Structure 1
Amino acid sequence: MMMLLILGILCVGFAVGYAFNFLLPKHQNEPIFSKKLFYPVLILGLIFSIMSLPFAATDAQKTKADPSSEQLLKDQKQLTTDISHLKADKEELTVSLEDATKEKEKLAKKLENITSEKETVKQHEKTIQALEEKIDKLASSNETLKRENKKSSSDTKSSTVQRSAPKDEGNSTGGHESQKETKKESAACNIKGSVNGIYHTPSSRYYSRTKNVTKMFCSVEEAERAGYRAPKQ
């Protein structure tokens, strides 16, 4: 289209120069001005110029728009680069989120295992506590059996000694009475052994009041050997 513009300008210039050449005074005696050459060349030049003007304006606009177009292209490339970076960041974040989800599931499973182990430990503690209570009961029963064995063996020895020992003859009447009272008391196993470790004979002041009896004895000696004592009053 630039060629059309150039041809139009040349044609118009030729027609104008041709007319200007014949208008000069020194050419008045030369051949007559040819209208058949002037007008077609002028019209053809004008047509070429008019046809090329829109295209020239478009080219000018394109030329003016080129810097902005280049800037737009640069911006578009930058946006494309940013979008690719954002996509990469999105993929990394997605992977990180998946890893975090898996780690969360692992921690949840560990927490469940710890909770179950804690419950198992509590059950074991309860079992151990029950066993300790049973052991304490067995130990106390064992101690009781040992005491009863000692008491039975001591009772057996005392009965053997009483059978083999001669009868004592006291000089005073009080001695005979105490021996008679002891024999009467030992005739029946009616001596009360209280929880406080005190034994009460039927002649004792608190005999009828004593209700927390742990064991009955047949003699004072048996009660004392068992670790019981006489009341202070």
Structure 2
Amino acid sequence: MESLMGIGFLSIMFSIGYLLFVFIRKFFSKEDKRLSRKIFYPCFIGGLLLMFITAPFTDQQTYSAAKKSEDLTAEVKELTSEKSNLQKEQKTLKQQIKQAQEKLTATQTENKALKKENEKLAKEKDKLTKEKKSLTEKLAKAEIKSGEEKPELKEKSASAAAPPSNNNDSSSQNTAQSNQECKIKGSVNHIYHTPGSTYYNRTKNVVQWFCSEKEAQAAGYRPPKR
């Protein structure tokens, strides 16, 4: 339709041009030059008809083009709005990523500090464990030493409390009698063994003799586990 409308327009322009050409030539040459109706009217009328016929289609196409233009304009506005929203979201995401990176850096720093503190505490724990072990060994040695010294002190106190006697036979008889009455053995390990127990006959390193279990427990000795 656009091509037919173009042909009609050119036909009208040709007829108008032909009309002007005839008038100008008639004016300057002063000749009786007549207008050719076979050329002018068919071109002029045919062009007008083509213009009128194709005008509605042209208007429809123009309206369609205008509508498309409006649609494109609205779409451009929508895309521009979406672009603006995306830019805002991008900005927000960048801020969130920055905050997350700052938190991650702070957490890593805190973890390093905690790791150093844990290593320090582990070293202090090892040191305290060694000190505890050393003190335990010293305490065990001190208890063994005190267990060895107790019988001597008891014997000295017993000899000091006993009345003086010049008769050796009577003293030996008293010692034998006390040994017969006090048959509970106190070993260097601070364990007392009663007659008939598992380790009674095996215990040779007797540090002290007791007459009763209460006496042995009062002196710091304990019974065997079995």
Relative to the length of structure 2, the TM-score reads 0.52
Taking every aligned residue pair, what percent have the same amino acid on both sides?
14
1:105 to partner: Cα distance: 2.8
Q: 1:133 aligns with which of 116, 122, 129?
A: 129
Does the CA contact (< 8 Å) of 1:198 and 1:229 recur in 2?
A: yes
Q: Show the counterpart of 1:116.
A: 112
Q: Distance between the aligned counterparts of 1:81 and 1:205, measured in 2?
A: 103
Does the CA contact (< 8 Å) of 1:192 and 1:199 recur in 2?
A: yes
Q: Which moved more, 1:138-147 or 1:86-95?
A: 138-147
Q: Distance between the aligned counterparts of 2:172 and 2:157, measured in 1?
A: 22
Q: Show the counterpart of 1:209.
A: 202
Q: 2:164 aligns with which of 158, 167, 172?
A: 167
The one-letter amino acid of 2:126's match is A
1:75 to partner: Cα distance: 0.1
1:65 to partner: Cα distance: 2.2
In structure 2, do the counterparts of structure 1 residues 139 and 158 end up closer, same or farther at CA, with 3 Å as the change threshold? same
1:79 to partner: Cα distance: 1.0
Q: 2:76 aligns with which of 76, 80, 83?
A: 80
In structure 2, do the counterparts of structure 1 residues 210 and 136 end up closer, same or farther at CA, with 3 Å as the change threshold? same
State the number of aligned residues. Answer: 186
Deviations 1:89-135 (A, max 9, x none): 23223323333433443343344345434534543453454355345
The one-letter amino acid of 1:94's match is Q
The one-letter amino acid of 1:197's match is I
4+ long deviations beyond 6 Å: none
Deviations 1:114-168 (A, max 9, x none): 5434534543453454355345445545655765569748845853773685435
Deviations 1:48-93 (A, max 9, x none): 1224444555544332323222211210111110121122223223
Give 3-state SS (helix, strand or coil) of 1:87's partner: helix
Unaligned runs of 5+ in 2: 1-8, 20-32, 180-184
Unaligned runs of 5+ in 1: 12-35, 184-190
Give 3-state SS (helix, strand or coil) of 1:106's partner: helix
1:197 maps to 2:184: no
Map 1:8-157 to 2 at 5 A. 40-41=36-37, 43-57=39-53, 59-134=55-130, 136-137=132-133, 140=136, 143-144=139-140, 147=143, 148=145, 152=149, 155=152
Bigger radius of gyration = 1
Q: Which moved more, 1:90-99 or 1:149-158?
A: 149-158
The one-letter amino acid of 1:119's match is K
The one-letter amino acid of 2:46's match is I
Relative to the length of structure 1, the TM-score reads 0.51
Q: Distance between the aligned counterparts of 1:130 and 1:181, measured in 2?
A: 54
In structure 2, do the counterparts of structure 1 residues 52 and 153 end up closer, same or farther at CA, with 3 Å as the change threshold? same
Does the CA contact (< 8 Å) of 1:151 and 1:226 recur in 2?
A: no
1:179 to partner: Cα distance: 1.6
Q: Distance between the aligned counterparts of 1:197 and 1:141, measured in 2?
A: 18
In structure 2, do the counterparts of structure 1 residues 177 and 157 end up closer, same or farther at CA, with 3 Å as the change threshold? closer
